[in-house]
Amino acid sequence: MAAAAALLLLLALGGAAAQVFPPWNGTFPGFGPGSGGGAGAAAGAGATGVPAMFVFGDSLTDNGNNNDLQSLAKANYPPYGIDFAGGPTGRFSNGFTMVDEIAQLLGLPLLPSHPDASSADAALHGVNFASAAAGILDNTGQNFVGRIPFNQQIKNFEQTLDQLGRKLGGASRLAPTLARSIFYVGMGSNDYLNNYLMPNYNTRNEYNGDQYSTLLVQQYAKQLGTLYNLGARRFVIAGVGSMACIPNMRARSPRNVCSPDVDDLIIPFNNKVKAMVNSLNANRPNAKFIYVDNYAMISEILRNPWSYGFSVIDRGCCGIGRNRGMITCLPFLRPCLNRNTYIFWDAFHPTERVNVLLGRAAFNGGNDVVYPMNIQQLAAWQP
């Protein structure tokens, strides 16, 4: 049925055309053709003073929250995790995700998934609540059956808060720890791929692109407000990356080209998220919200892959069909051998090497990739 969901997406979209990415004047710090793909290679920022990080998101950051669900969106089997020390964990990658790299750069251990953080001791340095197929809207991703929407992820965080409050001696003692913690939120991609663009959803008949992006951002702002009311003060909001050239999109094109009509939907959403970040910063002076421009960074990698040591840009390392993108990586499927040269791991997700690159840029990049400050600066920020 996962394959059927992918095929539904292919049918939902129109003809493909060549993708043209905007100009780029930025740089990725500490990463180039000579840099290895080893996760955590740029770590060493343990003095950031950040006690914990809490992650909310989808398959780009999921580290096993779907493993025990009746779900078609799982990655707890080989060859997922082939380059991860613990093997398959539920990460949709051959190794690290972007937030794994960020955690190490903050001097934190790798975060447990919510089911693995059943005790307060396990949750002391943070928890990852992200769930593959999840979205801002509760009905997003229902083709994959089990998933944990953002609203439920927030409820799961409330459970963790109860545990931590009891451990630390009450909410008043917990509040300063939460205020210094990083809250990473990356939502929205499934609200397009597994909602608006799916032919078995009526969403596209109910909203045009502008109306839908407005609906999403209004709901997103309310959800972030709930996290604020629960004590979050340092927010990292990850924009949706370019999806026009993922292997799944290329696979449906007779000419093996990208599908810019997808990004035509994503770009207005990202612009409204940036405006939301500016508004939240203006209206909540005792909190700080930063925006990670994943769209710009992914676009740059696709435009100049050789500058960053990538040579395979048009297919997944693991998958079935054209571009290894018609059907995503199945159990025990043999992946490519030279994974560090691939941008995409499977039909939808980047390789560890791309994730490490994005994580480092979010951590100490300039305003061209993370705005109005980077994560390292956010960690040191004083309200």
The mean pLDDT of 160-186, rounded to a whole number, is 94
CB 58 within 8 A of CB 135: yes
pLDDT band at 47 (very low <50, low <70, confident <90, very high): low
Band of residue 22 on the pLDDT scale cut at 50, 70, 90:
low
Per-residue pLDDT tens for 266-294?
Answer: 999 999 999 999 999 999 989 999 999 99
Q: Which pLDDT band, with edges at 50, 70 and 90, does 28 fall under?
A: low
Which CATH superfamily groups domain 51-378? SGNH hydrolase (3.40.50.1110)
**Can you list the positions of beta strands (E) in 227-369?**
234-238, 288-292, 312-316, 342-344
Instruction: Specify whether the CB–CB gap between 9 and 143 falls below 8 A.
Output: no
The pLDDT tens digits of the residues spanning 236-256 come to 999 999 999 999 999 988 888
For 197, counting Cβ atoms within 10 Å of its Cβ (0-12 exposed, 13-18 middle, 19+ buried), the class is buried
Instruction: Name the catalytic one among 213, 253, 314, 349.
Output: 349
Measure the CA–CA gap between 12 and 4, rounded to whole angstroms. Answer: 12
Rounded mean pLDDT of 30-43? Answer: 45
Q: Where are the alpha helices (DSSP H) in 91-208?
A: 98-105, 120-123, 150-168, 171-180, 189-191, 203-206
Q: Say yes or no to pLDDT of 72 above 70.
A: yes
Is 68 an active-site residue?
no
- Residue 125 is among the residues annotated as catalytic for this protein: no
Active site residue 71: no
Task: Supply the angle between the helices 352-364 and 98-105 in degrees, to the nearest 10.
Answer: 40
Q: What is the mean pLDDT of the chain?
A: 90
Q: What is the mean pLDDT of residues 171-186?
A: 96
The active-site residue out of 59, 71, 113, 242 is 59
Cβ 219 vs Cβ 273: under 8 Å: no
Banded pLDDT at 14 (limits 50, 70, 90): very low
Q: Cβ(93)–Cβ(328) under 8 Å? A: no
- Residue 25 banded pLDDT, cuts 50, 70, 90: low
Average pLDDT of the residues in 110-124? 96
pLDDT recorded at residue 18 = 45
For 176-198, what is the HEC assignment?
A: HHHHHCEEEEECCHHHHHHHHCC
Among the listed residues 116, 191, 293, 346, the single catalytic one is 346
Question: What's the CA angle centered on 178, arms 175 and 181, to 5 degrees?
Answer: 155
